Structure 1
Amino acid sequence: MNFNAVLRPAVFAAALALGAPAAALAAEYTSLDSQASSITFGYSQMNVKMNGSFGELKATELNFDPARPEEAKVVIEVALASIDAGYDEANTELEKDEWLALAAHPLARFESSKVEDLGNGTYQVTGDLSIKGNTRQISAPFTFKEEGDAGVFDGSFTFQRADFGIGEGQWKDFSIVANDIEITFHVVARP
């Protein structure tokens, strides 16, 4: 019996089996699946919790390697005209200069400057959020997991609308619309 003939395929199969998990973990995510991704927001209007969403987002830059998260980079743009605040009257109001000033500022933009690995599949991204010509640094914790050929990022953060000039004039009164806006993101990326 030729042991080399028997061992060679067994060694090859073992190498493939051992290499498969490493290959799966080596995926680098560079493309946003905008159809599977979502950005929603929550706010309080006259002490009533309200929710909304944005229908259009794109990544002009995306690079996340789970083996080197500190090197990650993302630039996400959200078409503000795709806002759905729950009813047509609110959507029309939000287009106005007092709110989002869509004619002059059609996009919200987030550009990361740092990603930290917090352990156990949790991370924190820090970067600049720009809305209506105003830019502020924000940090957002998020989780990351691999699902099939996708990388899934889930997280949330809160910002103050006054920092971005959202709700001017009579709308500066936080008893009507609260200052805190909570953003929740579900981002699906592919290699």
Structure 2
Amino acid sequence: MKVSFLRSAVLAAALGLGALGQATAATYTSIDGQSSKIGFGYSQMNVKMDGSFAELKAPTFSFDPANPEAAQVTLEVVLASVDAGYDEATEELAKDEWLALGAHPLATFTSTKVEALGDNRFQVTGNLTIKGITQPVTAPFTFKEDDKGGVFEGAFSFKRSDFNVGEGQWKDTSIVADDIQITFSVVGQP
């Protein structure tokens, strides 16, 4: 009788711990701004160029892998942290014709919908705001958990002209192409 009771108690404890482990599965509620990366690609005079932003913040961030459709995110990119690949281009981007850093120090993305696509693939739709202009964008991404936290990686593109990035003589897309490719690797923390 004692052996049977002991087995039942051990089984109950193991099941209870298993349920506890599931109940405490990581919900990501912030980002590691140091480990997260935002990059961009563009073409200048038909030469591919790459740049990045060094500072990323997330005033709103909530992602539960068990319920991705409930995710909410607002990301802020500090535009003054731009590196366009060489000093002259980086300095040019600060000007009003380009990013207008004095009037618009942040680019923001606010999600409106997250969809699970299967195999750790997802798609986020939301509103991207640059220079006070808001446009909808959709970005596919993957999600994996590792020793850093939850890693969200993806890419999307947009037309710089949709956000008045490159005004005046720079509206002409023959020197700097209209297409901008964004890549991201955001590290979420529980």
Q: TM-score, normalised by structure 2?
A: 0.93
Q: Secondary structure at the match of 1:162?
A: helix
Question: Residues of 1 paired with 2:39 and 2:10: CA distance?
Answer: 51
Unpaired segments ≥5 residues, structure 1: none
Q: Secondary structure at the match of 1:70?
A: helix
- Which stretch of the first structure deviates more once superposed, 143-152 or 78-87? 143-152
Code of the residue aligned with 2:182 in structure 1: it is I
| Structure 1 position 103 matched with structure 2 position 102 | yes
Which structure 2 residues correspond to residues 1-191 of structure 1 after superposition, within 5 A? Answer: 2-4=2-4, 6-7=6-7, 10-11=10-11, 14-15=14-15, 18-19=18-19, 22-23=22-23, 26-148=25-147, 150-191=149-190
Residues 72 and 166 (structure 1 numbering): CA distance in 2 closer, same or farther, change over 3 Å? same
Question: Are the counterparts in 1 of residues 108 and 128 from structure 2 also a CA contact under 8 Å?
Answer: yes
Code of the residue aligned with 2:139 in structure 1: it is A
Code of the residue aligned with 1:75 in structure 2: it is T
Question: Residues of 2 paired with 1:13 and 1:170: CA distance?
Answer: 71
Q: Which runs of 4+ in 1 moved over 3 A?
A: 16-21
Residues 52 and 148 (structure 1 numbering): CA distance in 2 closer, same or farther, change over 3 Å? same
- Which stretch of the first structure deviates more once superposed, 5-14 or 137-146? 5-14
Question: Residues of 2 paired with 1:148 and 1:19: CA distance?
Answer: 23
Identity %: 61
Q: Secondary structure at the match of 1:104?
A: coil
1:39 CA drift (Å): 0.1
1:14 CA drift (Å): 3.2
Q: Secondary structure at the match of 2:35?
A: coil
Q: Secondary structure at the match of 1:109?
A: strand
Unpaired segments ≥5 residues, structure 2: none
Question: Are the counterparts in 1 of residues 77 and 106 from structure 2 also a CA contact under 8 Å?
Answer: yes
| Number of aligned positions between the proteins | 190
Q: Secondary structure at the match of 1:143?
A: strand
- Which stretch of the first structure deviates more once superposed, 123-132 or 3-12? 3-12
Aligned-residue Cα RMSD (Å) equals 1.8
Question: Residues of 2 paired with 1:149 and 1:98: CA distance?
Answer: 38
Question: Residues of 2 paired with 1:42 and 1:21: CA distance?
Answer: 42
Code of the residue aligned with 1:171 in structure 2: it is W
1:13 CA drift (Å): 5.7
Q: TM-score, normalised by structure 1?
A: 0.93
